[in-house]
A = this chain, B = another copy of it.
């Protein structure tokens, strides 16, 4: 569930959202969009969690890959439906990941 990404630099899209009430097809579309994103050129990984707000972070090889995904036709349909029905509000931030480090219980120390 934690994305396994290559050495930086790479890119991240942080999508933070507040949902409207009810599902109204949201869950099925969200699953479909994850499956579709995974097939896009330059896709590196995705992480998602939701409680009072939702945060989805997708990782990409380049800004060009992010722009292509933003314009993908089925994704455009989902974005329009999101604004019409599913989201009270959202914030999307496009970032360059400059450095990273990680920890796994088996290793006991941060890497690198």
Contacts and interface: CB of A to CB of B under 8 A. Distances in A.
A57 B49 CA distance: 12
A69 B104 CA distance: 22
Interface range on chain A: under 10, 10 to 19, 20 to 34, or 35 or more?
Answer: 35 or more
**Identical subunits present:** 2
A76 to B, nearest CB: 12
A4 to B, nearest CB: 9
Most chain B CB inside 10 Å of its own CB: which residue of A8, A53, A63, A103: A103
A36 interface: no
Interface of A: 1-3, 5, 8, 12, 14, 16-18, 20, 47-55, 57, 63, 82-83, 87-105, 108-110
20 contacts: A1-B18, A5-B93, A8-B93, A12-B14, A14-B14, A16-B57, A49-B50, A49-B51, A49-B54, A50-B51, A55-B57, A82-B103, A83-B109, A87-B103, A89-B103, A92-B100, A92-B101, A93-B97, A94-B99, A95-B96
